[in-house]
């Protein structure tokens, strides 16, 4: 039985995909921040669960240690993320949007890499078309989002970082048997933007959300298809998809920025000190 680890699984897309995959007979491991929601879903699905707050890198390290108990991880779904209400630094000293959306999943993936290679794993990143809408001016030398901060811009940068991470992960580890892909889940009805006073919170938490959003269940089907799909046949490793098709990325990179993002991220998680980042 394949083991699928899903972060951000206590709510929204993550919870819906956990239900779908469990119903198909997979061994699903639920990772969430909220103890109440995570344990409730774990009890419903009779599935193992772990807690982690991605605004604390110590939590990510503990989570990676706990996940060593599984003999194999066939699929790692880096789904946790979100938009913040304002520019806020974590206890590690990093801008919260950057840490939660990119640096924490980067660290988790790195810490699990030996296990993932042994399992010949698929690694799936939940990105977003926000990478195109708000990420065009991304500056890899401003990872802490000090310049002209805006919640949605920082979120767009984070989702672009997911895509760049996917590309560089593929470049570095394809020969080791790792397959990786990112996807845009659509505009999903969820608790997205619940931590912000931005207009997006008003949109997502009033009946307006029903105008253009899709259900978590529909979005989760896209994720389930990637989990069950065959790399090289159903999807190409290193690419980003939307509605089952390759998604064009507005930010143009010949691989240089993706490589620099990886190298800078490695240094940041090594030192674990946001005071060292631009």
Domain residue spans of the chain: 3-185+216-276
* pLDDT at residue 7 greater than cutoff 70: yes
Nearest residue to 156 via CA among 145, 168, 166, 167: 145
Do 6 and 14 form a contact (C-beta atoms < 8 A)? yes
* Helix H or strand E encompassing 232: none
Residues 6 or more apart whose Cβ sits within 8 Å of residue 237: 170, 174, 178, 179, 180, 181, 231
Structure tokens at 242: 């939307």
Nearest residue to 145 via CA among 127, 163, 160, 133: 160
**Residue with the larger pLDDT of the pair 243 and 273:** 243
Q: Give the model's pLDDT for residue 276.
A: 61
3-state SS, residue 122: strand
Least confident range of 123-127, 202-206, 258-262: 202-206
Structure tokens at 198: 């931005």
C-beta atoms surrounding 91 within 10 Å = 12
Among 3.40.50.720, 3.90.76.10, 1.10.10.10, 3.30.460.30, what is the CATH number of 3-185+216-276? Answer: 3.40.50.720
* pLDDT at residue 235 greater than cutoff 80: yes
Going by their DSSP bridges, the two strands 240-242 and 245-246 should be labelled as antiparallel
**Residue with the larger pLDDT of the pair 272 and 139:** 139
* pLDDT at residue 193 greater than cutoff 50: no
Catalytic residue set: 155
CA distances (Å), 50 to each of 9, 16, 47, 56, 107, in order? 10, 17, 10, 15, 16
End-to-end CA distance of the chain: give it in Å, rounded: 44
Single pTM value for the model: 0.91
Do 35 and 62 form a contact (C-beta atoms < 8 A)? no
Q: Determine the average pLDDT of the residues in 74-84.
A: 96
């Amino acid at each position: 039985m394949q083991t699928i680890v899903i972060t951000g699984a206590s709510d929204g897309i993550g919870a819906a995909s956990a239900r779908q995959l469990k119903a198909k007979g997979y061994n699903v491991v639920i990772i969430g921040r909220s103890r109440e929601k995570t344990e409730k879903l774990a009890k419903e699905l009779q599935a193992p669960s772990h807690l982690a707050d991605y605004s604390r890198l110590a939590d990510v390290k503990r989570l990676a240690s706990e996940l060593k108990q599984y003999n194999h991880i066939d699929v790692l779904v880096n789904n946790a993320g979100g938009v913040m209400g304002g520019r806020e630094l974590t206890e590690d000293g990093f801008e919260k949007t950057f840490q939660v959306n990119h640096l924490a999943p980067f660290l988790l993936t790195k810490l699990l890499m030996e296990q993932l290679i042994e399992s010949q794993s698929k690694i799936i990143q939940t990105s977003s078309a926000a990478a195109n809408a708000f990420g065009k001016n991304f500056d890899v030398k401003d990872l802490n989002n000090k310049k002209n901060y805006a919640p949605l811009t920082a979120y767009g940068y984070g989702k672009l970082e997911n895509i760049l991470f996917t590309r560089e992960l593929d470049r570095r580890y394809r020969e080791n048997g790792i397959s990786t892909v990112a996807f845009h889940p659509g505009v999903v009805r969820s608790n997205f933007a619940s931590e912000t006073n931005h207009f997006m919170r008003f949109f997502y938490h009033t009946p307006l959300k029903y105008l253009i959003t899709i259900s978590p269940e529909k979005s989760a089907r896209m994720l389930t298809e990637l989990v069950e799909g065959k790399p090289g046949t159903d999807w190409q490793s290193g690419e980003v998809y939307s509605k089952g098709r390759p998604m064009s990325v507005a930010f143009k990179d010949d691989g240089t920025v993706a490589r620099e993002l990886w190298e800078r991220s490695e240094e940041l998680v090594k030192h674990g000190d946001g005071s060292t980042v631009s």
